[in-house]
Chains A and B, each alone.
Chain A
Amino acid sequence: MNDLLSLVDWSRAQFALTAMYHWLFVPLTLGLAVIVGIMETIYYRTGKAEWKHITKFWMKLFGINFAVGVATGIILEFQFGTNWSNYSWFVGDIFGAPLAIEGIMAFFMEATFLAVMFFGWDKVSKGFHLASTWLTCLGATISALWILVANAWMQYPVGMTFNPDTVRNEMTDFAAVALSPVALNKFFHSVTAGWVLGAVFVVGVSAWFLLKKRHVSYALKSIRIASWVGLAGILLVAYTGDGSAYEVAQKQPMKLAAMEGIYHGNKGQEFIAVGILNPQKEYDDNQDPFCFKIGVPGILSFLATRDANGFVPGINDILQGGYPTTNFAGDSIIAPSAQEKMQQGRAAIAALGDYRNARERNDSMAADSALQTLRDNYEYFGYGYIEDEAQLIPSVPMVFYSFHIMITLGGYFILFFIAILILERKQLLEKLRWVLWICLWSIPLGYICLQSGWIVAEVGRQPWTIQDILPTYASISAIEVSAVQTTFWLFAIIFTVLLVAEVSILVKQIKKGFNPQPVKNK
């Protein structure tokens, strides 16, 4: 048991390392693609050569990021087959479909038009080139859609039925999977977060040019475009973030409780604006969860239930049950306790065993009876692997602090883009060097914000790989811990080398600056 838990921890760490590394490149690709598309559209409409120079410069940086980041996600798929084989088999049909669509449709679309984007200047018409740039952007975005649909299904498993003969969940309703509210919110939230990162990157790099007094006109024009994209992006992030939080409140209340450090829920629940958690706090003691906090009454209730006086359950409420809620099917129920769910989960797993034995004996009556028990209790199948209710609580400090770092930086970026737009419009930006330094140092803040969001989404749903259906403990393959440790360090080295390569190539290209040669307008 302990070996298996250690194996789970190492495999999770490896998956997290790979996913977070992959998530360094993806949002910048999504954001730069939009910004480059807008810049080229201006070139297309005005015919001014300066916009071609500007577009080509940022397009080159987009290309470097794309090239270094491409295929880093494939490693995640390797891990599914080796480390998480039970999970892979259990969900194969559902998880496979979005990933296959992503691989076949989106990636090939992206790759085809990427070539025109880079090789096609002055060789294809301006209109076709512009269309290729936007289609590359669209391809990258659709790619993200299918990955996020697959991820959202794990957080909110709908549109499937479990087949005990194949031991797989089989898709019964593609639209329910692809268009679930969790998937849609997650998609728009992640993609628009990518716009914000792309915008911060462009503003930061352009600020560096202003600090060096190089390419001032190009840098200011880049900042103007990026700041508008960034402002639009961060406002959409806030809007979709609200939608995501509402969905979390309905479908993953434990995650919301961890995000806000709530142990005992209330009506008119306050939203913790700033807080320091009590590190000694255990879920079953009476200590104050916070050493210090500033909360705004009623706000969390409103965000979670759309009623400022609505009840938001805390960790202990969720474990004890007994409050009105809705199940996955949307029916109003009284929340069962963790113990009741664990009993149902155990009954479901036992029924799966009984069904398989009955089928081997060709005892159809016993098989039918077991199947009925399995179906009746399948909603809480994963709870059958939980020994102690404390295992149902994710790491509260990690989720709480990540969430608050994310929203604090989100608020910062709203003010940041508004301030930059005003200063640029008043022609003050290049004179205020301290502001330019803030712009430059905001680039790592953008990455921290996005990585924090990912930690909230993924650590917050622990112990589940599939919410309520399968925990990490049951998903893992029975492999040697040492094998996972070896590949973990191997990845850490490879990723570091790739990251150093990317940063050095990017820095070299940035230092070269915009192409100052005059370009003949077409």
Chain B
Amino acid sequence: MDNISTKRPPGYAKRIWYFYRDGFREMTVGKTLWALILIKLFILFFILKLFFFPDFLSTKGNTDDESRARYVGTELVERGVQ
């Protein structure tokens, strides 16, 4: 009788939380990889995207679909061989 635990098993949410928490804690090479992924994502989104890859059509003041269509339409017609 003493050996029977009266503790309720953790619910699904907790089990998933423990699963990920323990998984991350037990990582070896994974920690280096996560660091690499985070550095890469930072460079991609906070340096490259922000400073080097703006949405070109927006930079030309084309913020809505109608003005974008007008801009691209004009570009396509003007670049054609006359």
Closest partner residue, chain A, to B43 (CB atom): A494
Pick from B29, B48, B79: contact of A60, CB under 8 Å: B29
Find out whether the CB atom of A483 lies under 8 angstroms from the CB atom of B52. Answer: yes
Could you tell me the distance in whole angstroms from the C-beta of A390 to the nearest C-beta in chain B? Answer: 14
Find out whether the CB atom of B29 lies under 8 angstroms from the CB atom of A505. Answer: yes
CA gap between A356 and B48 in the complex, in Å: 36
B19 at the interface (CB under 8 A from A): yes
Closest partner residue, chain A, to B45 (CB atom): A74
Pick from A63, A165, A352: contact of B76, CB under 8 Å: A352
| Contact-residue bracket for chain A | 35 or more
CA gap between A385 and B77 in the complex, in Å: 9
Within 8 A of B (CB), among A474-498: 474, 477-479, 483, 486-487, 490, 494, 498
CA gap between A486 and B19 in the complex, in Å: 44
Within 8 A of B (CB), among A365-400: 384-387
Known A60-B29, A67-B33, A494-B43: A78·B77 in contact at CB below 8 Å: no
CA gap between A498 and B33 in the complex, in Å: 11
CA gap between A408 and B44 in the complex, in Å: 37
CA gap between A472 and B81 in the complex, in Å: 14
Could you tell me the distance in whole angstroms from the C-beta of A292 to the nearest C-beta in chain B? Answer: 39
Contact flags B49-69 to A (C-beta < 8 A → 1, else 0): 100111111000000010011
CA gap between A154 and B30 in the complex, in Å: 38
Closest partner residue, chain A, to B75 (CB atom): A86
Which residues of chain B come closer than 8 Å to A71, judged between CB atoms? 37, 40-41, 44
CA gap between A251 and B77 in the complex, in Å: 26
- The prevalent SS among residues of B at the interface is helix
Find out whether the CB atom of A474 lies under 8 angstroms from the CB atom of B40. Answer: no
B11 at the interface (CB under 8 A from A): no
A435 at the interface (CB under 8 A from B): no
Known A82-B56, A115-B20: A89·B68 in contact at CB below 8 Å: yes
Pick from B53, B65, B69: contact of A81, CB under 8 Å: B53
Find out whether the CB atom of B37 lies under 8 angstroms from the CB atom of A356. Answer: no
Known A356-B73, A385-B79, A385-B81: A63·B30 in contact at CB below 8 Å: yes
Could you tell me the distance in whole angstroms from the C-beta of B80 to the nearest C-beta in chain A? Answer: 4
Contact flags A45-82 to B (C-beta < 8 A → 1, else 0): 00000000000000010011001101100110011011
| Contact-residue bracket for chain B | 35 or more
A412 at the interface (CB under 8 A from B): no
B32 at the interface (CB under 8 A from A): yes
Which residues of chain B come closer than 8 Å to A487, judged between CB atoms? 48, 52-53
Known A89-B57, A165-B69: A119·B22 in contact at CB below 8 Å: yes
Contact flags A321-356 to B (C-beta < 8 A → 1, else 0): 000000000000000000000100110011011001
CA gap between A225 and B81 in the complex, in Å: 57
Closest partner residue, chain B, to A483 (CB atom): B52
Known A81-B56, A82-B55, A352-B73: A386·B81 in contact at CB below 8 Å: yes
Which residues of chain B come closer than 8 Å to A474, judged between CB atoms? 75-76, 79-80
Which residues of chain B come closer than 8 Å to A60, judged between CB atoms? 29
Find out whether the CB atom of B80 lies under 8 angstroms from the CB atom of A85. Answer: no
A473 at the interface (CB under 8 A from B): yes
Interface centre among B23, B24, B43 (most CB of A within 10 A): B23
Which residues of chain A come closer than 8 Å to B73, judged between CB atoms? 164, 167, 352, 356
A123 at the interface (CB under 8 A from B): yes
CA gap between A43 and B40 in the complex, in Å: 35
CA gap between A67 and B29 in the complex, in Å: 11
Find out whether the CB atom of B69 lies under 8 angstroms from the CB atom of A89. Answer: yes
Find out whether the CB atom of A353 lies under 8 angstroms from the CB atom of B77. Answer: yes
Pick from B33, B41, B43, B82: contact of A505, CB under 8 Å: B33
Known A86-B75, A505-B33: A168·B80 in contact at CB below 8 Å: no
CA gap between A129 and B32 in the complex, in Å: 24
Find out whether the CB atom of B32 lies under 8 angstroms from the CB atom of A167. Answer: no
A90 at the interface (CB under 8 A from B): yes
Interface centre among A78, A89, A342, A505 (most CB of B within 10 A): A89
**Which B residues form the contact surface with A (CB < 8 A)?**
19-20, 22-24, 26, 29-30, 32-34, 36-37, 40-41, 43-44, 48-49, 52-57, 65, 68-69, 72-73, 75-77, 79-82
26 contacts between A and B (CB under 8 A): A63-B33, A64-B33, A67-B34, A67-B37, A68-B36, A70-B37, A71-B37, A75-B48, A78-B49, A81-B56, A82-B56, A83-B56, A85-B72, A86-B72, A89-B69, A89-B72, A119-B23, A119-B26, A120-B23, A167-B76, A349-B76, A352-B73, A353-B77, A384-B80, A478-B75, A501-B36
5 smallest beta-carbon distances between A and B, as pairs: A119-B23, A349-B80, A67-B33, A78-B53, A85-B56
**Which A residues form the contact surface with B (CB < 8 A)?**
60, 63-64, 67-68, 70-71, 74-75, 78-79, 81-83, 85-86, 89-90, 115, 118-120, 123, 164-168, 342, 345-346, 349-350, 352-353, 356, 384-387, 473-474, 477-479, 483, 486-487, 490, 494, 498, 501, 505, 509
| Other contacts beyond A349-B80, A350-B77, A505-B36: 18, CB < 8 A | A63-B30, A68-B33, A68-B36, A75-B44, A75-B48, A85-B72, A86-B75, A115-B23, A119-B19, A120-B23, A349-B77, A352-B76, A384-B80, A474-B80, A477-B56, A487-B48, A487-B53, A509-B29
